[in-house]
Each structure stands twice: as structure tokens, then as C-alpha cells.
Structure 1
Amino acid sequence: MEEILSLEGETDSIPPNSAQYQETIVNGNPPMPGAAQNPTSTGSDGPDSDCESGSDSDSEDEVEQNLQLQTLEAELSSNPCNYEAHVQYIRLLRKMGAIEKLRLAREAMSELFPLTPTMWQEWAKDEASIGTGPEAVHAIEKIYQRGVLDYLSVSLWCEYLSFVLKSEEMVRDCSSADISKARNLFESALTAAGLHVAEGMKIWEAYRDFEQTIFQTIDPSDIQAKEKQIQRIRTIFHRQLSVPLVNMRSTLQAYSAWEMEQRNDLAVESSDLDGVPSHIASAYQRALEGYNARVHLEEQILRQDMSESEKLQQYMIYLKFEQSSGDPARVQVLYERAIADFPLSSDLWLDYTRYLDKTFKGGKIVREVYCRATKNCPWVGELWVRYLLCLERGNASEKELASVFGKSLQCTFSTIDEYLDLFLTRVDGLRRRLLFTTEVEDVLNYSLIRETFQNASDYLLQHLKNTDGLVHLHGYWARLELSLGTDLVAARGVWESLLRICGSMLEAWQGYIAMEIELGHINEARSLYKRCYSKRFPGTGSEDICRSWLRFERQFGTLEDFDHAVQKIDRFHLHLIELNIVVCLLNGIFHFSWLK
């Protein structure tokens, strides 16, 4: 539908110092290599020897490509998270024209990673080059729909809009249903990128051009329909003029000229605002002031002569400015621009999601950003933890929460504490939903918590042995076995399993004893003291547990119990003294000062 909208070939309108311009020039999108092309279609008048040489060369290339293909397939089979291998595999399949394998490869990569705008553009164009039927058109639209969600890209949105308007038969015939579909798509594009200071105007202008073309198709005698369409175009102009964008004056002049065509006497030859309705003039002036306040910041993030760290710092300065201005939509668009330039900056994703958590409180927008954040930086445990919390705030289903939690455990984090935090966050969420949710899902029961604790213990045991983290995990587990599972035997079993692993940790014994005392099980607590008072704990641990036992007997025991504890502890201290004397004699450094 060339007469309605043409958005391709607009590199001239992209700032030449922008990353998008460079990507457009360097990463042009060639058509899909055709597998059926005749390699001898050119130069066929040459000697037979040249043909044979060319054939040999083609054969060698094919052998080399097949070897590369096998190598990449083996690598992806053993290491499916190798991003660069995915990229090379797709590039090679595209070169070979292996359509079906290429589709599968792209789907596999998109499941694990976000694709760049260029990769989505190539995918859509490849599919468009081999299929034109309704099913193919629908599939290509789906590709664009997915692509615009990965990163903010005005050029990808423009291609998406252009494709839809060219491919929809009903839109070409001005069908009301598909015109409505196109308008909804334009509104989605404006929501995503209409506030993009440097490039948002492209979408606004395309939207106006589309509505102008619709206007041209209306029967001149249908005055009411024409007036309604004029108002649509006027509204788009008014909306655009209220947004800080590049080339605002040219937009105002275009608006004035358009109103003149509608026989509204705006004085385009004098001041730009002469004759413009006062509320539009005021909105324009505010937008112009907003643009002037941002133009220096825009120049900084579009500079090509600074390092990546400097550019990221400029984005952070710009973001602070937008946050101080108090418009969440503008802040979000700028974050999206920054993410598009720095997709692997975990600090940027953390900052972005923190802002969204504070501003939108776990809505759908926040959930989608967390999904993208964990695909871009899957190695950051904090993002997964906060993703789970976001889902819980949004009342996500247990199926979705379990899925995200499962994906998080497949990632490689830099510290074992990040895994522990994930397990604890999962348990926290299950506990809260069991205790405080009025409508508990059928799949939710305490066995899920027990299973999570067991998996955590099995998973973390070798890495957290003799650490406070493992003690905390088992203490939490035992407490929930009592409060939610109402199973004292299971709670004791949790502590006993910990003691088999971390019996030399004073904190493990103290936690077990504290539980029994809290439950009023004095004899069981005393039995634990008798089991552990003679253990050699690190530092002053042995003295600490002995003093703790004596305090316990003062508070809960009989005189006989207290005397028995004193007798046991004195005998243990004497044993320690004898043992220390032997050790010191063996080391030749016996001194009596420590006996004083």
C-alpha cells in the first residue's frame, strides 16, 4: 500500500551520529539467499574450465559450510546458552538458505535470549521473501509483534507498520475493521516510542499520513464523515505538538498549512503561532521548552566520540533529569532507549526495575520488564528474586511462579548466596500465599514448601557446609514444619539432618535447643545439651555452650539437674586442661600462665 504509507528507505532522516544510523548503514538487510539460485547464471559465456573451477569452488564452500554447521550444532547441543554460537548458527543457515532449520534456530535462540532489532528485521524480511499468502502474512506480523517487545526500536516499529499497511487487503480497500486495526497499531507504536525525542516524530508523521490518505478516500458528498476525519487528523497534530520532539517548528508549520487547506485562516506567513488556538499554542510552547531543556542531554547520548562507560553515565544523568520532571512515561521511554544501547548492563536493569517497582507496584508493565531483564542478564540473582516478588504482587498463578523459579535455577550466578536467596524467596512466597491468601489454588499445599526446602538443602549442602546460611535455611524449615506442617517429628528430623552435616557448628545446636525450649520440651532440650556440651566448637564455642547449659538448668531444672550439669562441665574442663598440657608439651611450649 505505497499510497497509504511508505516508511522504508528513511536513513536520511536518522541522525548520522546515532547508533541506529550506523546499524542501518553497516548492517543492511540483504534479501534471503535463495537456495534455488543458479550459480552459473552469470558469466555463462566463459570457458568450460572456468565453469569447472567455479563448480569446484562451490563444492569446497559447501563442504566447509557443512563442517561449520556440524561444529555449531555440536556446540549448541552441549552448551545451549552460548549466545555467540546461536548468532553464528543463524548467520550460516541464512547464508545457506536452509529455511526450516533457520526458523527452528531463530525460535530456539529467542526462547533463551532477546534478539536485536536487526535480527528481527532479517527474520521478518526472510519470511516475507518466501511467502505471501494470508498465513504467511499472519506469521510475519507475529514476528514483528514479538520483535518490538525485546528492545525499543523506532525503525522496527516503522517496518512493522509499513508491512501491515502494505499486506492488509482490507486496509487497502479502507475496510473499517482493518483501519481500526491499523489505528490500534499506531497507538501502540506511539505508546512505545512516541515520546522518543530524537525519532518519535517518524511515527507521528506516519500516523498523520495514514489518516490523510483515509481522508482522500471519503466521498466528497459525505460531509459528516469528512469532518470526522478532519478532526482525527487535527487531534493527532495537537497531540504531537504537545510532545517535546525534534523538528517541532516544522511540525507546527505543517499544521498551519494543513489548517489553511481546511479553510481555517491561520497566518502562516507571520508568526508561527498566529491564529493557532490558544490551548494548542500553550501546549506547543511548553513542549518546545521541554525540548530545549533536553536538547543538550540528547546530544550527549548521541555522541559517537565517547566511551561506552561515559555514554552510560550520560544516560544516568538524563534519567535523573526525567525522574525529577515527574512523568513516568517519559522516564520509561528513556530507560528503554538506554537498555537498547546497553542491554547487558545489570546495574541499568536493576535501576530500571527498581524505578518500576516503586512507580507501578507490580503491574503488567513491570512483569514484562522483569522477564526481559532476566533474559538479558540471567546471571544476576537479584533480578530473579525481584521478578518472583513482582509476580507475587501481581497475584500470578503458581504455574507461572514455579516456571520462573525453575528457570532461575538453570542460571549460573557468581555467588552461592544468590541461590540461597532464591530458594528463600520462593519459600517466602509459598508461605505467604498459604497463610494470607483467601482463595488458595488447589495446587498450593505445604508439600511444595517441604519439597523446596529439601531441594535447597540438597543443592546447597556442599557449598554452604558449616555456614550460617545453611543453619538459617534449616531453622526456617523446621519452624514451618511446626507452624504449617504441624509435624514435630519432621521438625526434629530437619535439625537432626543438619547436625549430621554441621555437628561442629555451635549455632546448629543452639537453634535446635531453642526450638525445644520454645515448645516447652525441657527434657528434650536437656538431652541436646548432654549431647553437645563436650564437643570442641571453634573459638569460645565450647565455653559458650557450657555456660548456656548452666543458665538453662538455673531457669528450668531442679537442684539435682544443676549439680549434674556442673559435674559434667567440670569433668569436661579438666579433660580440656589435660589435653592442652599434652599438646603444649608435644610442641615444646608449655607455660603455666594460662592456668591462672
Structure 2
Amino acid sequence: MDETLTTTPETSEAPVSNAAAGDEEKNNSEDEPMRDAAENADGLDSDSDAESSDSQSDSDDEAQQNLQLQTLEAELAANPSNYDAHVQYIKLLRRMGDIEKLRRAREAMNELFPLSPAMWLEWTKDEASLNTGPEAYSTILKLYDRGVSEYLSVSLWCDYINFVQEFDPVVQQCSPAGITKARDLFERALTAAGLHVAEGNKIWDLYREFEQAILLTIDETDIEAKDKQVQRIRTLFHRQLSVPLAGMSSTLITYKAWEVEQGNLHDVESGNISEIHPHVASAYQKALDMYNACVHHEEHIASQASDSEKLQHYMKYLKFEQSSGTPARVLVLYERAVADLPIASDLWLDYTQYLDKTLKVGNVVTNVYTRATKNCPWVGELWVQYLLSLERGHASEKEIAEVFEKSLLCTFSTLDEYLELFLTRVDGLRRRMASTGEEEGLLEFQTLRQTFQHASDYLSPQLKNTEGLVRLHAYWALLEAKLGKDITAARGVWESLVKICGSMLEAWKGYIAMEIEHGHINEARSIYKRCYSKRFPGTGSEDICHSWLRFEREFGTLEDYDLASQKVSPRLEELQLYRIQQELKSTEEKQHHPIRNVRDKRKLESDIDEQSPAKRRKEVGKNPKKVPEENKGQEYLPQATKVEEANAEINKSEDVTKQQSTSDKSRAYTDQCTVFISNLNFKANYEHIRNFFSDVGGIDAIRILHDKFTGKSRGLAYVDFSDEEHLAAALAKNKQSLLGKKLSIARSDPSRGGKKEPSGQRNFREQKRGTDRSGEAGSAAKESDDASKEAVKETKSVNGKPGGDNIQIKGKNTFAVPRNVRALGWTSNKPKAVEEDETPKSNDEFRKMFIKKD
């Protein structure tokens, strides 16, 4: 056994040692006279030294092999799925000649992986070299059966056939039982590999040789038996000639020569088929045409190409064979492909899908799925299809459960593959329950519930807050309610889900939908109360609020609807404010325009407008030493607080208006073509208003008024139009509804709420605005800030108690402060002289003054 194992071609050490031995013999023959002289001188000492050296070398090799063996054993103990480690371990044990360990190593590897045909040949030869007794013969036959079932290999089939013919005593005696046994083996080989285009003729030739050998054993006097055997051989020839195989022309010549021996033909010409039977000639010509059509595919897959290129060649070849409509040839080609590319998952998937379409059920399909999952255990789709195939074949629950448990031990690339496996298993259990009795169905449901629990425990840590986990639990709750008739258990499933995926709107909606489906309205309402205030991604928070209101409209009383509205409305307003803040923040980040703080704004306005009367009065209020005599004793600290509140209102208004375009920011609003909108829905935004006036057109700007403390809409807005024509069309839409509320639309007239602005002052400010707009492009944003600060300064310049009838707001962005509303800190006790001095005069007024003087 040691000699047989050492001389195998897989080991590299054996050829080296043989070559060294040959060189040593050559040197010994050349130096023989010198060695004889040395032997006389050295005597037995030289022999003793040589033996010692050889012993030391063998000891070193053995120590190195033992160290390598321990390393591989440790590697396999830590990672049994290491294919290369298994191969190296088997090679090392084979070189060392440790038979028992070698057997165990091969069995351990074959439990996890299919062995290659070359490894099966090694295994069978090693076992055959040990013993050829009845027990050993039976063991080797089982090894051959296992080998040919894993991969298609013509060489392994031929070796299997030769072994049986050589060592099976029944076959050797050519008894009827032995002949039948051999023929059955040949037919199995032909079914498996007889259609192998490149190598299948080897099995056909072996079969004919066997039958011809039997013909020679028949007694010449038994004419009937001889004729029967001759016809059997002729039939084999006809079968072979009808199959597209390599070397068809030589097979035809051999057949014609054989027929000449039988006295049926007189010409053995290779190209002439007219003399043979027409049916045989027609089948031969058809097979030859088919071979010629696929010969270029055979050349491609036989070429030294990369695995990816070879896979493409096989896929093209398979499509060609499938178009011919011969499933047997397609199956053989698939087997050839997976033998050449055993870990090509796409190839196995294509193979199994083809079998599911053509054969659907049977041992062939099951065998292919078993080998596919052994070669590519990391592909979850193969395991799913495997389970479905077992269910189609009415496999036992035990077999299906074993395959399922084995699949969970594999490592898949995505978590969805694990989820799909669990769902497939549950589907099968549910379908099985429908076809069983009540008691068996109860047992099946217990298994189903355990599978769901296993799936939840297995996947929840990885699939938290995912649609896949919601899908799993929704399915579970449905089956608990429908099949298990246990609504409490179904609620328990949903409760466990919302603990894991409480931030997912779909989880809560599914829970509510189940309660509504079963008519449990109060339970559904309680779930709404639990989740309406939660924060969900996207618009989920608003959606759950609106969903609750719709639920109460459809199922609740008026009191229920009012209660839901009271809870939902503040929540919706809070969410709307949050959305506006986020939009403004996003807009600011996109524009890369930092917000100036109050100190920067005040510094900026002091640089631009040093000489304004409001500025001077502000300085007077700040410096006690400059307080006029008549104003002494008045309290300025509360007034400063009010000014700060007005400033905050202006800043908040500015933040809201930053949603407008840059052109809107730089524009001065004169309210010449402006409508004032009241009774506006608090939820209405700029897009709602723009869409409302979309049929009118001509919109220049939209300004929605917001509360200075909460930032919420006040239900008021201004819309500027480009001309009077569009303005008139907009006024015609008065009393029309927007978001469920009838709008009150009127032309804006700010002068009605206070003292009319002198024309000279308006001309002066408009002239200033025109000058400002003629500046650089980057001054637009600064102008907007300056205008807002003018309004702040005008507010600060007012001194006195709240009350009175008149208020005048100055500045470009006058829309930022509500019309007809007195600012905080406004008073009517204003010195008239200061008021007159502060009012700039127009050109017309100056002209009239000169005319009067004249």
C-alpha cells in the first residue's frame, strides 16, 4: 500500500526521490573502482555512516510531515468549510500512508463538499490495492456509485465498468445473472454519459466489446442464441450511429466491417451509406448533421479559456441544445458544464430552473438540488427552490425540516435571503395544514408558530426597522388570527413588532388594520392614541394624524372626532412649524449665506444710515446725558424691552420670507397691485396660494404673515401682481375656497389703517430704492437686511404708551409687519416739531413753498 500511494502523480516528492535514486545509481556505477578501494580502506564505518545519514533524513521528513499534519488538523477544526485545507490534508495523509485517518478525512470532506472525479478514482484505487475480498469489493462498488452520482465523468464510468468486469466473479463467469448485471451497468452508463458528444463513444465501444465477447462464448451449434446475440450487437451499432458523437465516421466503418463479417455487406467504403438499411442511414445522416452543427461549440468549451468565458460558451451551447428539443442531450450538457464549473452559481440556478420546468418532480431533480447546494451553499435562492422541489415531490416533513435546518447553517450575502427561506418554510407548513386532519393540523400549526418565533429571534437584531421584519410579523399575526383563531396571540405578535420597529409607520398601520378588520374599533382607537405623537420618517407623522381623523369619520362618534381633532391639531401645527424651519435651514445652507446676528445688523445700519432722524433719536434714548429736558423722568427700560421684541418680530418675518426667490428679496413692495387675503387656512403655504392663482397668472410675490412668537401662519397674506389686469382677475376669485376655507380677497390699501404717506416721502424712498437696485448683484441680500432694520429703527423711534389711531411703518420690506396693527411701544405722545422735522419733503412741496414766498 505504501508503494502504491507514494507513486501517485499528485505527490511531488516521489518523482524527486526517484530521480535522486537514479542519479545515485549512475554515480555508483561510474565510481565503482574507486568505491571498491574505499571500501577496503574504510571497511564497515562507511556503511554505518550512510545508514545513519539516511535515518536522520527520514526522521526530519517525518517530523516535518507531523508538524504540517497538526497545522492542517487545527485549521480544519477551526474552519471545517476550508476546501483547500481538506485537499491538502488528504494528500498529506495519502503520502504518509495512514489509511484509517485517510478514510475519515475523505468522508469528512464528502459530507461538506462533492469530490472531484480524480479524487474518487484515487479513493477507489487505494481501497482496491488494500483488499479484493467480498467485503472490499462491495465497499468499492459503493464508492463508484457515490462518485458517478456527484459529477459526470466518462473516465470514472469506464473505470467503474472495468472494475466490475475484472473483479465481479459472477460477471467473469458470464452467467446469465452476471451478464444481466453487466448490461444494467452499461445501460446506466449510457443514460448518464452516452450522449456526451466528445467522449460518449468510449462507453459505446466498451458495451459493444462486451457483447462481442459474449458472442464468442456461445456454442456454434446454438444458432438461435448466436443470431439473437448478433442482433443485439447490430442494435447497439444502430443506436450509436443515431447519436451525434465524435468519431462517427470511424464508427460507421467499424459497423460496415462487422456487417461484412456477418455476410450482409460487401463494401466497406467510408463515405457510402447506401448499402446499409435506409432507416439506419437516415438516422446516421441526421446525427452527423447535428454533430456538424454543434462541433464549433465543442471546440469553444474545449479551448483553454477562462472560467467566465467558458461559462458563456456553455450558456450559448445550452441554448442551442434547448432549441433542438431533446431534453436528454440538454441534461447531459448541463452535467458536463457543472462538472467543469462546479461553483458557478448562475449555472446551477439555470440548471435547476430548467428541471423545474421540464421534469418538475422526481429523484433526478432532488439529486441535482442536493449537489447544487453542496457546490454553492451560499446561494439562498437554491435552498428556496430546493424546499419547493421537495414539497412538489411530496417529501416527508422530516426530510424538508432537515434541508431547512441545513440551509440556516450557511452564510448568505444578504439578510433578505434568510427571510425568504423562513417565509418559504412557513408557506409549506401552511399548505400542509390545509391537506391534513384537525389533530395533524394542530401539530403543524405548533411547528409553524415555532418557525415564526425562530425567524423573529434570528432576524430581529439584523432587520430592525425594515420592511422585511414588518412583512414577517404581519404574516405571523394573520395566521395566528385566521388559522390559530387566537386574536390575543395576534396582538402579541404586533406588540412585539412595535417594540422592535416602533419608529416605522407601517408597523402601526398594520396593527391598526388588523383590529379594524376584526371589528375592534376601540382597540384600534387606543393604538392611534399611542402612536399619533410619535415621530416617523418623511411625512409619516402627518400621515398617522390624518389617518386617525379619517378613522373617526368612518367609525367614531362626533365626540370621538372632536377629541381626535383636539389632539391632532396641535401636533400638526408643531410639525408644520418644524417643516418650515427645516426648509429655511436647507435653503440657507444651499445659498451659503450666513445669518447676521443682531449686533452685526446694527453695525451695518449705523454705517449706511448715520444721519437718519430715527438713528439720532435712538442715540438720544441710549445716552441719558442727551435726554431732552421735557422727556426726563420717563421710563426707558421697558421701552427697550419692547424694541427688542419688535426686532425679534422683524427677524422672524425675515426668516420666513427667505423662501422667496432672490428677485423677491431685492424688490420693493409698494402695494400698488396687491391683494390682501384673509380667512386663509393655517396649513396653506406659498405653493397652495400660487396654485390657487395659477389661472390668473402674473404673480410677482407672495407674503404670508406669521405670528411673531410661534412662527405659525396668521391666516393672512399679500399677493403682488404685475399689472392691473391680473389684479382684477385675482379680485374676481373672492369667496372661492382654498383648502376648505372661503378666502376673503380685497385690494390692499395700507393708507386706510393709518396716516397716508406724503407723496414726497414716497418719491424720496422710491428714488432711494432705485439707486439701491442699480448697485452690484450681491447687494440684493444686504438691501433686504437694511430695509428690515429701517423698520426696526422706526419702531424704536416711537416713544410713549400703546394706543392712538395712527402708525407709520417705514422701510422697503413693509410686508414683514402686519398692516393696521400697532407695534409694541407705540405712543401718540410724539413731539410735533420732531415729527415735522423728520418728514422729508417732495420736490412738489419745495416748489409750492417757493411759490408762496414769491
Q: Please, what TM-score do these two structures have when normalized by structure 2?
A: 0.63
Aligned counterparts of 2:439 and 2:193: Cα–Cα separation in 1: 40
The equivalent residue for 1:22 is none
Provide Cα deviations, 1:96-152, integer angstroms capped at 9, x if missing partner: 111111111111111110100000000000000101101100100110100011111
Provide Cα deviations, 1:281-330, integer angstroms capped at 9, x if missing partner: 111111111111111111111112x3332222111111111011111111
Provide Cα deviations, 1:40-63, integer angstroms capped at 9, x if missing partner: 9x9899722222111111111111
The equivalent residue for 2:355 is 356
The equivalent residue for 2:176 is 176
The equivalent residue for 2:497 is 498
The equivalent residue for 1:9 is none
1:384/1:408 contact within 8 Å kept = yes
- Rate the CA distance shift 1:444–1:227 in 2: closer, same or farther, 3 A: farther
Aligned counterparts of 1:541 and 1:514: Cα–Cα separation in 2: 16
The structure whose residues are more often helix, as a share, is 1
> Matched residue of 1:379: which SS?
coil
The equivalent residue for 1:16 is none
Q: Which moved more, 1:133-142 or 1:70-79?
A: 70-79
Say whether 1:295 aligns with 2:295: yes
* Paired residues, number: 561
> Matched residue of 2:267: which SS?
coil
Aligned counterparts of 1:271 and 1:137: Cα–Cα separation in 2: 46
Aligned counterparts of 2:302 and 2:442: Cα–Cα separation in 1: 51
Q: Which moved more, 1:345-354 or 1:468-477?
A: 345-354
2:190/2:204 contact within 8 Å kept = yes
Alpha-carbon offset, residue 438 of structure 1: 7.9
Aligned counterparts of 1:439 and 1:236: Cα–Cα separation in 2: 57
Alpha-carbon offset, residue 224 of structure 1: 1.7
> Matched residue of 1:47: which SS?
helix
Provide Cα deviations, 1:399-457, integer angstroms capped at 9, x if missing partner: 11111111110010111111111111111111111114689978951011111111111
1:266/1:274 contact within 8 Å kept = no
The equivalent residue for 1:79 is 79
2:128/2:136 contact within 8 Å kept = yes
The equivalent residue for 2:197 is 197
> Matched residue of 1:197: which SS?
coil
1:36-51 alignment to 2 at 5 Å? Answer: 47-51=47-51
1:1-40 alignment to 2 at 5 Å? Answer: 28=9
The equivalent residue for 2:552 is 553
Aligned counterparts of 1:504 and 1:270: Cα–Cα separation in 2: 81
Aligned counterparts of 1:47 and 1:440: Cα–Cα separation in 2: 85
Q: Which has the larger radius of gyration?
A: 2
1:533/1:546 contact within 8 Å kept = yes
The structure, 1 or 2, with the larger RCO (C-alpha pairs under 8 Å, 6+ apart) is 1
2:505/2:544 contact within 8 Å kept = yes
The equivalent residue for 2:326 is 327
The equivalent residue for 1:376 is 375
> Matched residue of 1:537: which SS?
coil
Alpha-carbon offset, residue 503 of structure 1: 0.9
Provide Cα deviations, 1:343-372, integer angstroms capped at 9, x if missing partner: 111111111111111111132211111111
The equivalent residue for 1:20 is none
> Matched residue of 1:234: which SS?
helix
1:266/1:276 contact within 8 Å kept = no
1:182-581 alignment to 2 at 5 Å? Answer: 182-269=182-269, 272-304=272-304, 306-436=305-435, 445-574=444-573, 576=575
2:75/2:85 contact within 8 Å kept = yes
> Matched residue of 1:474: which SS?
helix
Alpha-carbon offset, residue 520 of structure 1: 0.8
Which amino acid counterpart does residue 225 of structure 2 have in structure 1? A
Aligned counterparts of 1:579 and 1:281: Cα–Cα separation in 2: 87
Aligned counterparts of 2:110 and 2:518: Cα–Cα separation in 1: 53
Aligned counterparts of 1:122 and 1:272: Cα–Cα separation in 2: 45
Q: Which residues of structure 2 form unaligned runs of 5+?
A: 1-6, 15-20, 29-43, 586-594, 598-650, 658-684, 686-711, 714-854
1:423/1:452 contact within 8 Å kept = yes
1:29/1:122 contact within 8 Å kept = no
> Matched residue of 2:478: which SS?
helix
- Rate the CA distance shift 1:440–1:81 in 2: closer, same or farther, 3 A: farther
> Matched residue of 2:148: which SS?
helix
Alpha-carbon offset, residue 577 of structure 1: 6.5
Q: Which moved more, 1:107-116 or 1:53-62?
A: 53-62
Which amino acid counterpart does residue 158 of structure 1 have in structure 2? C
The equivalent residue for 2:64 is 64
Which amino acid counterpart does residue 175 of structure 1 have in structure 2? S
Which amino acid counterpart does residue 205 of structure 1 have in structure 2? D
- Rate the CA distance shift 1:56–1:440 in 2: closer, same or farther, 3 A: farther
1:367/1:390 contact within 8 Å kept = yes
- Rate the CA distance shift 1:27–1:333 in 2: closer, same or farther, 3 A: farther
The equivalent residue for 1:5 is none
1:165/1:172 contact within 8 Å kept = yes
Which amino acid counterpart does residue 118 of structure 1 have in structure 2? A
Aligned counterparts of 2:439 and 2:318: Cα–Cα separation in 1: 41
Alignment identity in percent? 66
Q: Which moved more, 1:266-275 or 1:307-316?
A: 266-275
Provide Cα deviations, 1:216-251, integer angstroms capped at 9, x if missing partner: 111221122112211111111110010001111111
2:426/2:448 contact within 8 Å kept = yes
Provide Cα deviations, 1:172-208, integer angstroms capped at 9, x if missing partner: 1112112111111111111111001110000000000
Which amino acid counterpart does residue 377 of structure 1 have in structure 2? C
Which amino acid counterpart does residue 329 of structure 1 have in structure 2? A
Aligned counterparts of 2:564 and 2:502: Cα–Cα separation in 1: 21
The equivalent residue for 2:127 is 127
Aligned counterparts of 2:47 and 2:523: Cα–Cα separation in 1: 99
Aligned counterparts of 2:508 and 2:102: Cα–Cα separation in 1: 59
2:252/2:270 contact within 8 Å kept = no
Aligned counterparts of 2:461 and 2:580: Cα–Cα separation in 1: 36
- Rate the CA distance shift 1:442–1:75 in 2: closer, same or farther, 3 A: farther
Aligned counterparts of 1:325 and 1:274: Cα–Cα separation in 2: 27
Provide Cα deviations, 1:22-43, integer angstroms capped at 9, x if missing partner: xxxx98478xx9xxxxxx9x98
Alpha-carbon offset, residue 580 of structure 1: 8.1
1:319/1:331 contact within 8 Å kept = yes
> Matched residue of 1:463: which SS?
coil
> Matched residue of 1:221: which SS?
coil
Which amino acid counterpart does residue 488 of structure 2 have in structure 1? V
> Matched residue of 1:199: which SS?
coil
2:434/2:441 contact within 8 Å kept = no
Aligned counterparts of 2:65 and 2:128: Cα–Cα separation in 1: 25
Aligned counterparts of 1:314 and 1:578: Cα–Cα separation in 2: 63
> Matched residue of 1:314: which SS?
helix
Which amino acid counterpart does residue 457 of structure 1 have in structure 2? S
- Rate the CA distance shift 1:526–1:443 in 2: closer, same or farther, 3 A: closer
1:154/1:200 contact within 8 Å kept = yes
Which amino acid counterpart does residue 536 of structure 1 have in structure 2? R
> Matched residue of 1:462: which SS?
coil
Aligned counterparts of 1:270 and 1:393: Cα–Cα separation in 2: 51
Alpha-carbon offset, residue 262 of structure 1: 1.9
1:373/1:383 contact within 8 Å kept = yes
1:346/1:377 contact within 8 Å kept = yes
